[in-house]
Amino acid sequence: MVNAPVTEKDGDAQLRVWWRHWGVVLILAVLAGLVIWAMLNLAPWLRNLQEWRAAKTAQEQIEKLYRNDKYGGKTPEETFDMFVSALEKGDIDLASKYFVLNKQEQWKKTLEEYKIKALLADFNSELLKNRVQWKRIETEDKNIIEYNYDVKVPENTTVEITGNKLELPAGEYTNIVIFEKYPSEIWKINLL
């Protein structure tokens, strides 16, 4: 068999086939590169978007809790009186609800401990005694009200607070009570 000479027409056809074949390979390589680039660069962005959405949803749920919270009074003093009244009744669940949301569980445990150790009545009477001495402190934030009061410790004392022992030397101490106003227009105890 003799090879026929390649004509210009056959050469053009072979060149077109070569470009079509390698053009497809080139397009596939570019697409693969784009997919890899997108996976490497867009994945963190998508993760950030998902985290942002989750944070926004969590924030909306917290804000809803704050708006719907009805445990508290129209003034800090009213909230404090409600808290003391709940303690007098021994209603730990209700008493703990007068604290800001993020401190309710902690105070519920503390008050349960006081109840078990029969310290609830003493704690309540100490709160009432100290309330008489409250001095209001003006703050820049109108949604926070602070009260100072002095406590005299006549002799060295050991106090147990939530399982931790604290040595108090004799002397006079200034304590603070902080109330926070919620979007629902009620006041909650932030610090006691």
Q: Could you tell me if 168 and 153 are in contact, meaning their C-beta atoms sit under 8 angstroms apart? A: yes
Q: What pLDDT, on a 0 to 100 scale, did the predictor assign at position 4?
A: 55
> How far is residue 85 from each of residues 51, 79, 95, 111, measured CA to CA in Å?
43, 10, 8, 14
Residues 93 and 44 placed together within one structural domain of the fold: no
Q: pLDDT tens digits, residue range 110-167?
A: 999 889 988 888 888 888 888 888 888 878 888 888 888 887 777 877 776 666 777 7
Residues 52 and 87 placed together within one structural domain of the fold: no
User: In the listed set 68, 83, 104, which residue is the last one of a domain according to the structure?
Assistant: 68
Q: What pLDDT, on a 0 to 100 scale, did the predictor assign at position 35?
A: 86
Number of domains in the chain: 2
Residues 51 and 133 placed together within one structural domain of the fold: no
Tokens linked to 94:
């209700």
Q: pLDDT tens digits, residue range 58-77?
A: 888 888 888 888 899 999 99
Of the chain, the percentage scoring pLDDT greater than 90 comes to 26
Buried residues in 139-158 as b, exposed as e (16+ CB within 10 A): eeeeebbbbebeeeeeeeee
Q: Is residue 111 part of a domain?
A: yes
Per the prediction, the chain carries an average pLDDT of: 84
User: CB burial class (10 A; 0-12, 13-18, 19+) of residue 186?
Assistant: buried
Range of the domain at 184: 74-191
Residues 87 and 131 placed together within one structural domain of the fold: yes
Q: What pLDDT, on a 0 to 100 scale, did the predictor assign at position 140?
A: 81
Q: What pLDDT, on a 0 to 100 scale, did the predictor assign at position 89?
A: 93
Residues 139 and 51 placed together within one structural domain of the fold: no
The span from the CA of 77 to the CA of 31, in Å, is 69
Q: Is residue 174 part of a domain?
A: yes
pTM (2 decimals)? 0.65
Of the chain, the percentage scoring pLDDT greater than 70 comes to 92
Q: Is residue 104 part of a domain?
A: yes
> How far is residue 55 from each of residues 44, 45, 48, 50, measured CA to CA in Å?
16, 15, 10, 9
Q: Could you tell me if 112 and 92 are in contact, meaning their C-beta atoms sit under 8 angstroms apart? A: yes
Q: What pLDDT, on a 0 to 100 scale, did the predictor assign at position 186?
A: 92
> How far is residue 147 from each of residues 43, 80, 124, measured CA to CA in Å?
51, 12, 17
Tokens linked to 9:
């027409």
Residue 131's domain is classified under what CATH number?
3.10.450
Q: What pLDDT, on a 0 to 100 scale, did the predictor assign at position 161?
A: 64
**Residue range 17-36: average pLDDT?**
84
